[in-house]
A and B are shown apart, each in its own frame.
Chain A
Amino acid sequence: MYKIQQVVNHLWNRNLNFFASLQAALFGSNIENGGLIGKGIIYFLLITFAILYLEPLIYMISTTFKGFSDFTNPTAKWIPKDPTFVNLKYAFKQMQILPIFMSGKTLWENLASSSLFNSITIAVPSALVQTITCAIAGYAFARLPFPFKKTMIGLLILTYIVPPNTVFIPLAWIYKKYNLLSTPLVFIAPALFGQGLRSGIFIIIYMQFFRKIPKELEEAATLDGVGTFRLFWKIMFPLSKPAMITVFLFSLVWHWNETYLSSLLYTTNTTLSVQIARASIPVNGTGLNLQPVQMASGLMFILPILIIYLFTQRLFTESIERSGIVE
Chain B
Amino acid sequence: MKKPITIETRRKIEGLAFISLWLIGLALFWIYPLIYSFLMSLNKVTIMTDHLQFKFIGLTNFKKVLFQDADIPNTFIQFIQQSIIIIPIIVVFALVIALLLNQKLKGRGIIRGIFFLPVVLTSGNLINELVGQKQGTITFLASVTSQNMFSYLGPTWETTINNILANFLIILWYSGVQMLILIAGLQSISPSIYEAAKIDGANGWEIFWKITLPGITPFIFISTVYTIVDQFTLTSNPILKIVNDKIFGSNTGFGYASAISWVYFGVILLFLALSFMIFRKSLKLTRK
Q: What residues of chain A have their CB less than 8 Å away from a CB belonging to chain B? A: 30-34, 39, 42-43, 45-47, 49-50, 52-57, 59-60, 63, 133, 136-137, 139-141, 144-147, 149, 152, 155, 159-171, 173-174, 189-190, 192-195, 203, 228-229, 232, 253, 256-260, 263-264, 273-274, 276-277, 280, 291, 294-295, 298, 301-302, 305-306, 308-309, 313-314, 316-317, 320-321, 324-326
Please tell me if the beta carbons of B12 and A147 are within 8 angstroms of each other in the complex.
yes
Q: Is residue B150 within 8 Å, beta carbon to beta carbon, of the partner chain?
A: no
Task: Kindly list chain A residues whose C-beta atoms are within 8 Å of the C-beta of B244.
Answer: 263-264
Task: Kindly list chain A residues whose C-beta atoms are within 8 Å of the C-beta of B115.
Answer: 49-50, 53
Please tell me if the beta carbons of A136 and B22 are within 8 angstroms of each other in the complex.
yes
Task: Kindly list chain B residues whose C-beta atoms are within 8 Å of the C-beta of A60.
Answer: 130, 135
Please tell me if the beta carbons of B100 and A46 are within 8 angstroms of each other in the complex.
yes
Chain A's closest residue to B182 (CB) is A326
Q: How far is the CA of A162 from the CA of B204 in the complex (A)?
A: 41
The 8 closest A-B pairs by CB, nearest first: A193-B25, A144-B15, A259-B124, A257-B123, A146-B15, A140-B18, A170-B36, A137-B22
- Contacts A140-B15, A140-B19 supplied; 5 other A-B pairs, CB < 8 Å: A56-B130, A57-B121, A161-B272, A163-B261, A308-B120
Please tell me if the beta carbons of A170 and B33 are within 8 angstroms of each other in the complex.
yes
Chain B's closest residue to A231 (CB) is B14
Please tell me if the beta carbons of B135 and A169 are within 8 angstroms of each other in the complex.
no
Task: Kindly list chain A residues whose C-beta atoms are within 8 Å of the C-beta of B258.
Answer: 166, 169
Q: How large, as a class, is the contact surface on chain B?
A: 35 or more
Please tell me if the beta carbons of B16 and A147 are within 8 angstroms of each other in the complex.
yes
Interface CB pairs A-B, < 8 A, 16? A52-B169, A133-B22, A144-B14, A155-B26, A159-B26, A161-B268, A171-B33, A193-B21, A228-B11, A259-B123, A260-B233, A294-B133, A301-B126, A316-B113, A316-B120, A320-B180
> Which of A34, A59, A317, A324 is within 8 Å of B116, CB to CB?
A317
Q: Is residue B28 within 8 Å, beta carbon to beta carbon, of the partner chain?
A: yes
Please tell me if the beta carbons of A169 and B123 are within 8 angstroms of each other in the complex.
no
Instruction: Mark each residue of chain B from 229 to 263: 1 if its CB lies under 8 Å from any CB of chain A, else 0.
Output: 10011010000100110010000001001100110
Q: How far is the CA of A298 from the CA of B16 in the complex (A)?
A: 45
> Which of B28, B169, B232 is within 8 Å of A53, CB to CB?
B169
> Is chain A's interface secondary structure helix, strand, loop, or mixed overall?
helix
Task: Kindly list chain B residues whose C-beta atoms are within 8 Å of the C-beta of A229.
Answer: 14, 17
Task: Kindly list chain A residues whose C-beta atoms are within 8 Å of the C-beta of B235.
Answer: 259-260, 263
Report the minimal beta-carbon distance from B243 to chain A, rounded to whole angstroms: 5
Report the minimal beta-carbon distance from A248 to chain B, rounded to whole angstroms: 13
Please tell me if the beta carbons of A194 and B22 are within 8 angstroms of each other in the complex.
yes
Report the minimal beta-carbon distance from B180 to chain A, rounded to whole angstroms: 4
Report the minimal beta-carbon distance from B225 to chain A, rounded to whole angstroms: 8
Of the listed stretches B58-66, B75-83, B104-112, B156-164, chain A binds B104-112
Q: Is residue B84 within 8 Å, beta carbon to beta carbon, of the partner chain?
A: no
Task: Kindly list chain B residues whose C-beta atoms are within 8 Å of the C-beta of A258.
Answer: 123
> Which of B97, B105, B207, B257 is within 8 Å of A43, CB to CB?
B105
Task: Kindly list chain B residues whose C-beta atoms are within 8 Å of the C-beta of A253.
Answer: 119-120
Q: Is residue B6 within 8 Å, beta carbon to beta carbon, of the partner chain?
A: no
Q: Is residue B89 within 8 Å, beta carbon to beta carbon, of the partner chain?
A: no
Q: Is residue B57 within 8 Å, beta carbon to beta carbon, of the partner chain?
A: no
Q: How far is the CA of A97 from the CA of B151 in the complex (A)?
A: 47
